[in-house]
Structure 1
Amino acid sequence: MKWKEYGTIQTDKEIQDSFAVCYHEQATVGMEDACRIVYNRIFLLSEAQGTLVVDDTTWPLKGNELFLLAKGQVFAFAPGSVITGYELSFGDCFWEKAPASASNCKAVLFNNAAANQQLSVHPADERELILLFQALLREYHLGDYINKPDALAAYLKIIMIKIANIQAALVSGTDSYESQLFRQFTGLVSKHYSSTHEVAAYADMLGVTARRLTDLCKQCGGRGAKDIINGQLIAEAKRALQFSAKAVKEIAFQLNFSTPDQFSHFFKKNTGVSANEFRERFVKIGR
């Protein structure tokens, strides 16, 4: 299924306080228009049938699974799709309310969401997550009080940590030290991607060799360290192309490429389309 089969690509509706959670029970969620999201999303689906399309990837829905969608991605449920489960939306500004100790978990899961788009969930893990989502939903529907956003952010932090643990177990089952080092690396990439693209620089920050870092990333994340860095750069480039009017030249220098041509070659090599073609496709459609 391709986006041309949908009428238009609409932009996310504004969410009050950049945070929302809801429960769908046997809900028909087929969409005539695709949605370009400005809020990160988590779907915890206990039961599901149909299809979810994210960017150009099609995911058959089967239930007992998580879907993680990052700001800037385009998604749609195919007509006739039915889901039972939770939908959680949050903006980056709301995430900043969560304790800093959880920042690496978000980096692992959402900085290159395409690598973690769908996660199968073991029944025991699903039961634990459902309890957390139930508690979060109850808190969300309470009347407003002074520290309510902080309470919601605390639940979000716990949910993010639990999902990061599920992701780590699915990918590798590595010990806690290796997982922690991997998360430190992805956290560093999210902070320094615009100043350095070199594996060796991140290895120095972590006190390991570049070879060790690459091996660890393959073990814990299924991809090499360079691929993770490139994934962050592509994600940030896409966001800039979609949500700003900056020229390609300006984006290239913002991401620390030596020349616009170097950036253009990098972008096309990793996405299959030029930066201008990408902007035309995802920004002008539906306007």
Structure 2
Amino acid sequence: MQNLHLIPAERHDNPTTSCRFFLFPFSHQHYETTYQPKILFLSYTKLSLSPCENHFSACPFSSILSYHTFLPTDAAMSEIPRVYFHSPKNSAYEFEITSLQELFTKQKRLLFPLEQPHRVHFYHLLIITKGSGQHHIDFTSYNVQEGDVLLIAPNQIHAFEITDHVEGIILLFTESFILKNINQTQFAAVNALFNYHTSSPLLQQAYTADIRNDIEALQTECRHPQNAISEEILRLQLNLLLLKLARKKYIVMQPIEHTEWKDTFAEFRKSLERGYTTTRNAADFAEQIGVSYKHLNAICKAIVGSTAKEFIDAYVVLEIKRHIAVHSPTTKELAIQTGFDEPTNLVKFFKRHTGQTPRMFMTKLKQQTL
């Protein structure tokens, strides 16, 4: 591995506040920066970089407007850029609302093409208000048109289609913002709504009059002086919007019987992220977090609407796709990377869940990027 020289970056966040929510229309200030990349930090084998001139910072990601990315060099050139959220210079909240048009006009000031797949570490709500086009999420292309809503969760990989024929609004916010002071029903709704492992991120014709009114209310509240009361109002308004979208997605929430279920599910998800290459057995994960398999299933059904095993398998399939997209490994290498004892077992597992072999998926992916 080559030596990496890290250049310290100037911070532009507000250290005096603990607020974590952004509402941003793609405002000009996010893109007013010169195109001079600086390497900020090393994350595993990936470099995060940002042009830290005016409104970028060394803080993990900012919004789609102030995208911090990794500057892949040499061997790291094939890595997918990571994008982290960081509040704009004049905002104390980890939430923003912006327009697609404003983002696209600032395309040349970004460090990588928006059409390039990039991994985000915060939530997106993308609303199409005019025209039609495509958006790419985790290697699937979705046809979108006026009135559609796309849900993008942290850790997903997506790419824009730059076109003058589509207009839209994006709401960006962090997990820490939305989960603060959240109740059990709200937590379950957020997880089920953004459960990309077992459901589609596309809500067709969900941008109805009531949703439009809720977004306008958020925009109005963002113009108020920033303080703890305004932050909580924004969070409540956002939660209301997400609950309405969950209802439009026909999510039927099972009663959450115990307040600790939220924490148990969070433990399960973290355990899965750490240990999916070691086991794909739901009972093993249940044992790791100190609950029964039956109890873990009940929690998963209540919070994300799927069994624990369905959630695990969907997670593993997506990780396999991500390994293929980033590294283009051989089947043997892929099996080692994702915890399969034999390449044939990997192929069978992947084909059973996707209808294609890993090599077929790799070939199709390469054809899409030509």
Report TM bin, short chain: 0.5 to 0.7
Match of 2:99 in 1: 23
Which moved further from structure 2: 118-127 or 62-71?
A: 118-127
2: CA distance between counterparts of 1:122 and 1:205?
Answer: 44
Q: Which deviations, in whole Å up to 9, do the C-alpha atoms of 1:193-222 show, x marking residues without a partner?
A: 122211001212333321232233233322
Aligned residue in 2 for 1:39: 119
Structure 1 alignment gaps of length 5 or more = 1-13, 138-153
In the alignment, is residue 205 of structure 1 matched against residue 285 of structure 2?
no
- State the secondary structure of the residue aligned to 1:171: coil
The 10-residue stretch of structure 1 (209-218 or 120-129) with the greater mean CA deviation from structure 2: 120-129
Partner of 1:6: none
Does the Cα contact within 8 Å between 2:119 and 2:158 map onto a contact in 1?
A: no
1:254 maps to 2:337: yes
Give the corresponding residue for 1:273: 356
Q: Which whole-Å deviations, capped at 9, do the CAs of 1:59-96 have from their partners, x for residues lacking one?
A: 5434373431664456648x7853331265x9xxxx89
Q: TM-score scaled by structure 1?
A: 0.62
Contiguous gaps of at least 5 residues in structure 2: 1-48, 66-97, 106-113, 181-186, 224-230
Cα distance in structure 1, aligned partners of 2:197 and 2:331? 23
1:111/1:190 contact within 8 Å kept:
no
> Shift of residue 118 of structure 1?
2.9
Equivalent-residue separation in structure 2 for 1:229 and 1:38 (angstroms): 23
Residue 190 (structure 1) aligned to one of 273, 287, 290? 273
CA distance in 2 between partners of 1:192 and 1:164 (Å)? 30
Query: Conserved in 2, the CA contact under 8 Å of 1:36 and 1:74?
Result: yes
Residue aligning to 2:168: 84
**Aligned partners of 2:333 and 2:304: how far apart in 1?**
31
State percent identity of aligned pairs.
18
For residues 15 and 130 of structure 1, the distance between their equivalents in structure 2, rounded to whole angstroms, comes to 31
How many corresponding residue pairs?
247
Deviations 1:205-247 (A, max 9, x none): 3333212322332333222211111111111111111111432
Q: Deviations over 1:241-264 (max 9, x none)?
A: 111143221221222111111011
Q: What is the alpha-carbon distance in structure 2 between the residues aligned to residue 165 and residue 183 of structure 1?
A: 20
Letter in 2 for 1:173: M
Helix, strand or coil at the partner of 1:283: helix
Structure-2 separation of matches of 1:168 and 1:207: 30
Q: Give the corresponding residue for 2:37.
A: none
More helix by share: 1
1:65 match: 149
Letter in 1 for 2:304: G
Q: Cα gap change, 1:243/1:256 in structure 2, threshold over 3 Å: closer, same or farther?
A: same
Q: In structure 2, what residue type is equivalent to 1:50? A: S
Q: CA RMSD, aligned part only?
A: 4.7
> Is the CA contact 2:254–2:301 (under 8 Å) kept in the aligned structure 1?
no
Q: Secondary structure at the match of 1:86?
A: strand
Shift of 1:189: 1.7
Task: Note the C-alpha offset of 1:188.
Answer: 2.5
Code of the aligned partner of 2:99: Y
Q: Separation in 2 of the partners of 1:134 and 1:15?
A: 31
* TM-score normalised over the length of structure 2: 0.50
Q: Does 1:214 align with 2:297?
A: yes
1:217 partner SS: helix
Point out the more displaced range, 178-187 or 116-125: 116-125
Structure of higher RCO (CA pairs closer than 8 Å, 6+ residues apart): 1
